Amino acid sequence: SHIMSEYGRMTDTERDQIDQDAQVFMRTCADAIHQLRTEAHRGVLSAQVKEHRTAVLDFIEDYLKRVCKLYSEQRAIRVKRVIDKKRL
């Protein structure tokens, strides 16, 4: 239990770094999805293939949006806790 208490807590600097890395990663993913969307239909003649690729990209984009929303909610909780601590 001593080891867990010593290493179980993250510093605010570590949390800030994770937040920054997460934002960069989410932005990179959104850019990649956008790029895939523009490249997905090049040279494809079949309407069925176009429709399938669009559906897959819509699903991936929706999943990323849900992950971003969850991240934002968790970050808001963290910020609220920090504000509450400062008030005390």
Cα–Cα distances in angstroms (integers) from residue 3 to residues 8, 10, 13, 15, 35, in the given order: 8, 14, 21, 20, 45
CA gap 77, 58 in Å, rounded: 29
Residue 42 phi, psi dihedral angles, 5° rounding: -70, 125
Q: Which residue has the higher pLDDT, 59 or 11?
A: 59
Q: Where are the domains of the chain?
A: 20-85
pTM of the model as a whole? 0.76
Contact 39, 15 (CB under 8 A): no
For residue 36, is pLDDT > 90? yes
Cα maximum dimension of the chain: 64
Strand ranges, E, within 1-88 = none
40-65 per-position pLDDT tens digit: 888 878 999 999 999 999 999 999 99
